[in-house]
Structure 1
Amino acid sequence: MVRAADAERGTIRCSHVGCGADNRLQTAFHYDQAIVQGLPGFGSLTYLGHPEVTYPLQFGPNVIGTSESCTVQVGRFIHEGRCFISRRHCTLTVTFDQWSGQLRYQLQDGAPEPDQPEIRSSLNGTYLNGSLLQKTEQIDLNHDGIITLGGADRFRLTHYFIPPAMLTTYKVELAFNPDRTE
């Protein structure tokens, strides 16, 4: 039990004989996910073959491929007479991390078909920073990460960073836990 005087001071003095150390009380918080409703964007992909070509991302799953049913429909880029990007090549999911207050980007090879729930892998693979993703692997992407579709077409991911001033308005203090001390 934390005494009112200790809570007001923000520390608890250790009662062990000869110790007397001050333990700082920590308050915990997270950020309300409602913040995503007011964001102007969720990041983008830039095609490195033509840097003027960018594709905006949406919150949630972004299916990337050449099909009209994709969230991010990329062009059929031709290399030696072939396109190496599948109709529904990969899935880039944008979520909100309530503990860090930032958007999180996760990449997975393949995508579900509109009428089927299971993931179908791409024909030519998906690479992150030069490393091939395994068929069932879902991996976090850093800002400026390079996604290569089919081993031929490269895209740079640009994160959207939520401004700190905006974050403070969505901060949710959690109830004090006396076991949470430093």
Structure 2
Amino acid sequence: MVRAADAERGSIVCSHVGCGAVNVVQTAFQYDEAIVQGLPSFGQLAYLGDSGATYPLEFGRNVIGTSDTSTIQVNRFVHNGRCFISRRHCTLTITFDKWTGQLRYHLQDGAVDPGSQSSQPSLNGTMVDGMLLLKTEIIDVNDQSIVTLGGLDRFRLTHYSIPATMLETYKVSLDYNPDRTE
């Protein structure tokens, strides 16, 4: 435990005989997850083809596909008479990182089937910036990355960045941790 006098001074002096080393006490904090309730947006997917359609994202799980059971129902983009996007093609999950105060975007190919509760991969695969996702892989997706569904239809993922002034109001100071000294 950090004594009140040490916390006030901002350092701890080692009490071992002859040591006298000074350790600086660092304050720790995290951000309150309630911040997500007031956000105006959670980012978007923008189709890079002719239509230029945009699809706003939701906090939590976003199942992307052509089915009306998908959270994000994309248009059926037809190439030579075929659509290469599956009905429930991939899942983009948006979470809040309480340590950085930013949203994180996790992508996986396929989606959980509502009937069987088992994960079903897409028929034609999902790529991020030209790299094919493995069927069991979940990856973090960077801002402005290109997500390709079915090998043909490309979307730009745009993250929502929480403004620093808003983050400051949701900062929660944590008690001093003796393991967090310099």
Do Structure 1 and Structure 2 share a fold, with TM-score over 0.5?
yes
Q: Distance in 2 between matches of 1:17 and 1:154?
A: 67
2:77 matched to which residue of 1? 77
2:168 matched to which residue of 1? 168
Q: Distance in 1 between matches of 2:51 and 2:14?
A: 60
Q: What secondary structure is seen at the aligned counterpart in 2 of 1:134?
A: coil
Unpaired stretches in structure 1, ≥5 consecutive residues: none
> Displacement of 1:70 after TM fit?
0.7
Q: Distance in 2 between matches of 1:79 and 1:51?
A: 14
Q: What secondary structure is seen at the aligned counterpart in 2 of 1:136?
A: coil
Number of equivalent positions: 182
> Displacement of 1:20 after TM fit?
4.4
CA contact under 8 A between 2:70 and 2:88: conserved in structure 1?
Answer: yes
Q: Distance in 1 between matches of 2:74 and 2:2?
A: 58
**After the TM superposition, which of the residue ranges 46-55 and 87-96 deviates more from structure 2?**
46-55
Letter in 2 for 1:26: Q
RMSD: 1.6
Letter in 1 for 2:104: R
Q: Distance in 2 between matches of 1:19 and 1:9?
A: 19
Matches within 5 A, 1:88-99: 88-99=88-99
Q: Distance in 1 between matches of 2:120 and 2:3?
A: 58
Unpaired stretches in structure 2, ≥5 consecutive residues: none
**After the TM superposition, which of the residue ranges 2-11 and 153-162 deviates more from structure 2?**
2-11
**After the TM superposition, which of the residue ranges 111-120 and 39-48 deviates more from structure 2?**
111-120
Letter in 1 for 2:94: V
**After the TM superposition, which of the residue ranges 49-58 and 35-44 deviates more from structure 2?**
49-58
Q: Distance in 2 between matches of 1:165 and 1:22?
A: 34
Q: What secondary structure is seen at the aligned counterpart in 1 of 2:165?
A: helix
> Displacement of 1:26 after TM fit?
1.1
Change (3 A) 1:163 1:51: farther
Q: What secondary structure is seen at the aligned counterpart in 2 of 1:46?
A: strand
Q: Distance in 2 between matches of 1:51 and 1:40?
A: 25
Q: Distance in 2 between matches of 1:112 and 1:93?
A: 12
Q: Distance in 1 between matches of 2:64 and 2:52?
A: 18
Matches within 5 A, 1:1-182: 1-15=1-15, 20-50=20-50, 52-182=52-182
> Displacement of 1:8 after TM fit?
0.8
> Displacement of 1:32 after TM fit?
1.0
TM-score (normalizing by structure 1): 0.93
Letter in 2 for 1:73: Q
TM-score (normalizing by structure 2): 0.93
